Structure 1
Amino acid sequence: MFTKKELIQYEKYLKLNELGDFVLDYDDKLEIIDFHTHMCNILPLKPIDPNTKGNNLKYPTVPSIENIDFSIPYWTREDAPISRNGFLSLIKYLLNAYSIVQDMMKGGNYSNCFRSQEENQIGINVVLPLSTKKRDCSQEALRIVKDYPDRFIAFCSVHPDDLEAKAKIVKYKALGAKGLKLKISDIELKNDFRSLINLFKACHEAELPILLHTGTIAVNQNSGSRLCKKLLMSTRVEIFGHLLEYMPRDFVFIFGHSGVSEYKLVAEYLKKFPASYAELSSQSQDSIKYLIDEVGYERLLFGSDWPALPQAITLSRVLIATEENKEARDYILNKNAKRLLNL
């Protein structure tokens, strides 16, 4: 069976640490801001103290070794399998999502974070809380920055249906939040975006950028589960491209993950909406190069989605994509983030 050790023999800028995790293999000094990270206490389940130690990350979102292909987004050769039993597919999908969040919560602590930062030359993590209607995680994100102001920058997260949404945005900005993060499949499934547009407008008034999870992984369209397919497709890029039509031209919207497999459509929206950005977590060297060629490098942001994914994988893809353009590398790894965050 193919192993990680065999895999990295053919991959630039990647090696394994003593735990067998992917880490950066690069000798020169880099300045890096990771624009897409999480921590154990800013996820939508019961918070875990980030000072907890002893839990190693398993990275269940990384494809199995035999299916890894780093030249395509999300690095997997296989389409997402969907059973023909819609209810069974949904249960399997939700259980898998729960196991991923559990791994992030157990392993997304200070100890593992600082180790990953050091192994991968990451100077600052932008931490993105994932709030729901029932739990607002923004204060936890701000507390992380208060504990370690040199290592973290916080976004807030307010659900669009929160009756105090506008007041909270103003409050969190005053407390130091640099933007707003959302993952809102419930609204997308309802296909009613009025409250989301109002939230966009509130963030625009407060001069806060918004980063949303955008894009889908490849789905086998011949599968018969409508319910699970609808859930997987609920974050498709065209939804957010359409919503941007309602906003002023200077509204700062960040396509999280660059739309995953829909990165070409993201490039078209970046051309259309000049204040928009693309964050690169889960992208490949080829898709990153495509985005640079199509829209330039001034609105591309390095992100990893740690602790769901290792920081080293997308980082190594950025290094490969910018080998012939060190200026582009600097802008993607830190300069664009500094400008956007007013650092």
Structure 2
Amino acid sequence: MLTKQDLVRNEKYLKLNEDGAFVIDNADDLEIIDFHTHMCNALPLKYIDPNSKGNKLTYPTLPAVEKIDFSVPYWTKEETKINRKGLLPIIRYGLNAYDVLQDMMKGGTYDNCFKSQGDNQIGINVILPLSTKKCDCSPEALKIVADHPNRFVAFCSVHPDDSEMKEKIVRYKALGAKGFKLKISELELKNDFTSLITLFKTCYEAELPVILHTGAIPVDQERTSKLLYKYLKSTRVELFGRLLAELPKDFVFIFGHSGISEYKLVAEYLKKYPASYAEVSSQSQQSISYLIAEVGSQRLLFGSDWPALPQAITLSRVLLATEDNKTARAQILSKNAKTLLGL
């Protein structure tokens, strides 16, 4: 039976710590800003104090060891014959998503974050709150920075349908927010992107970069129910990439996760829109190398999606992809982020 030890035995830049968690294996002195992280009190649902002790992360987002394939985004071996038809796969998907969010909420504490930062040479985490119509998590994200200004940078997050959207964005910018984060889908917007474009324009006027969750996983449409297929494709790159035509050319948009399996399409949008960026959490060495070859390294940002995913895995992919290009390594790990955030 394959174990984690077997998995990392021949993996350069990746090892296990004393708890059996993936951590970086690197002796060089690196300056690293993780551009895509969360914390327990900047997530929707039940409030959990980030000062909580003893809550361990289990990373349910990670595939089982025998299904890990570091050569593809999300490091998941493609199961070509998987059947997603019927109600049961929808229920399973929903329950798994709930487990992931619960793990992030319980494990996204200061103790766990500082331990991960130390294990992986991370200097700063950019905190991305996940606000909804009913829950504005921006104040909590800003409080994290107030409590630990040397370890965190905060973005704000306001739902497009919030009646105070414009006022809140201006206020959060004044309180120190360095950018704007949103996770929203075509289904939630009901294929009407008017409010989202208005939000983008508000962020542009406030000079805040915008990062969205973008991309989809490979899905066999013939083996997937219509509802689940529509949901899994509801954040595909095309939906958000085409909106950039509605914005000024210097609107700073960041493709979160680099579009997951759609990273090649992200590269095409980066070529078309020179103010856009790609954040590489969940990407592979091969896909990061592809982005560097296609668009250069000046608009790529290291991110991990911690605590949904370990900080070490994407970080090790970046180190592998930049072994022969230390300029690109420095740009992706921190220089581009520092420029974008005005640090």
TM-score normalized with structure 1 length: 0.98
Q: Offset of 1:63 from its aligned partner?
A: 1.1
Distance 1:106 1:115 in 2: 15
Q: Offset of 1:78 from its aligned partner?
A: 2.4
User: Is the Cα contact below 8 Å between 1:277 and 1:301 reproduced in 2?
Assistant: yes
Q: Offset of 1:88 from its aligned partner?
A: 3.0
Q: Which amino acid aligns with 1:108?
A: G
User: Is the Cα contact below 8 Å between 1:79 and 1:220 reproduced in 2?
Assistant: no
Q: Hey, what does 1:30 align to over in structure 2? A: 30
Aligned pairs, number: 342
Distance 1:224 1:321 in 2: 34
User: Is the Cα contact below 8 Å between 2:72 and 2:284 reproduced in 1?
Assistant: yes
Unaligned runs of 5+ in 2: none
CA 1:79–1:210: 2 relative to 1, 3 Å? farther
Q: Offset of 1:186 from its aligned partner?
A: 6.0
Confirm whether residue 259 of structure 1 aligns to residue 253 of structure 2.
Answer: no
Q: Hey, what does 2:268 align to over in structure 1? A: 268
Q: Offset of 1:323 from its aligned partner?
A: 0.2
CA 1:162–1:82: 2 relative to 1, 3 Å? farther
Q: Which amino acid aligns with 2:242?
A: H
- The CA deviation string for residues 91-111 of structure 1, in whole angstroms up to 9 with x for no partner, is 221111000000001100000
Q: Hey, what does 1:310 align to over in structure 2? A: 310
Confirm whether residue 215 of structure 1 aligns to residue 229 of structure 2.
Answer: no
Q: Offset of 1:84 from its aligned partner?
A: 1.5
SS at match of 1:235: coil
Q: Offset of 1:221 from its aligned partner?
A: 2.3
Q: Offset of 1:187 from its aligned partner?
A: 5.0
CA 1:187–1:202: 2 relative to 1, 3 Å? farther
- The CA deviation string for residues 152-174 of structure 1, in whole angstroms up to 9 with x for no partner, is 00000000010110000000000
User: Is the Cα contact below 8 Å between 1:36 and 1:125 reproduced in 2?
Assistant: yes
Q: Hey, what does 2:235 align to over in structure 1? A: 235
- The CA deviation string for residues 58-98 of structure 1, in whole angstroms up to 9 with x for no partner, is 0011111111111111101124945311x333222111100
Distance 1:290 1:83 in 2: 30
Q: Offset of 1:261 from its aligned partner?
A: 0.3
Q: Offset of 1:194 from its aligned partner?
A: 0.5
Confirm whether residue 83 of structure 1 aligns to residue 59 of structure 2.
Answer: no
Q: Hey, what does 2:205 align to over in structure 1? A: 205
SS at match of 2:125: strand
User: Is the Cα contact below 8 Å between 1:187 and 1:193 reproduced in 2?
Assistant: no
Distance 1:119 1:282 in 2: 19
- The CA deviation string for residues 101-133 of structure 1, in whole angstroms up to 9 with x for no partner, is 000011000000000000000000000000000
Q: Hey, what does 1:342 align to over in structure 2? A: 342
Distance 1:189 1:94 in 2: 19
- The CA deviation string for residues 252-294 of structure 1, in whole angstroms up to 9 with x for no partner, is 0000000000000000000000000000000000000000000
Q: Hey, what does 1:43 align to over in structure 2? A: 43
- The CA deviation string for residues 321-340 of structure 1, in whole angstroms up to 9 with x for no partner, is 00000000000000000000
CA RMSD of aligned residues (A): 1.1
CA 1:125–1:99: 2 relative to 1, 3 Å? same
User: Is the Cα contact below 8 Å between 1:33 and 1:333 reproduced in 2?
Assistant: yes
SS at match of 1:131: coil
User: Is the Cα contact below 8 Å between 1:319 and 1:329 reproduced in 2?
Assistant: yes
Distance 1:224 1:294 in 2: 32
CA 1:194–1:37: 2 relative to 1, 3 Å? same
Regions of 4+ moved over 6 Å: none
User: Is the Cα contact below 8 Å between 1:188 and 1:235 reproduced in 2?
Assistant: no
Q: Offset of 1:142 from its aligned partner?
A: 0.1
Confirm whether residue 65 of structure 1 aligns to residue 65 of structure 2.
Answer: yes
Q: Offset of 1:224 from its aligned partner?
A: 3.5
User: Is the Cα contact below 8 Å between 2:186 and 2:235 reproduced in 1?
Assistant: no
Q: Hey, what does 1:301 align to over in structure 2? A: 301
Confirm whether residue 20 of structure 1 aligns to residue 23 of structure 2.
Answer: no
Distance 2:165 2:38 in 1: 21
User: Is the Cα contact below 8 Å between 1:170 and 1:206 reproduced in 2?
Assistant: yes
Q: Offset of 1:219 from its aligned partner?
A: 1.4
CA 1:138–1:82: 2 relative to 1, 3 Å? farther
User: Is the Cα contact below 8 Å between 2:187 and 2:231 reproduced in 1?
Assistant: no
Shifted more, 106-115 versus 187-196: the winner is 187-196
Distance 2:236 2:224 in 1: 19
SS at match of 1:314: helix
Distance 1:296 1:302 in 2: 14
Distance 1:55 1:22 in 2: 17
Distance 2:214 2:300 in 1: 15
Distance 2:237 2:312 in 1: 25
Distance 1:166 1:222 in 2: 42
For 1:315-326, list aligned pairs within 5 A. Answer: 315-326=315-326
SS at match of 2:222: coil
TM-score normalized with structure 2 length: 0.98
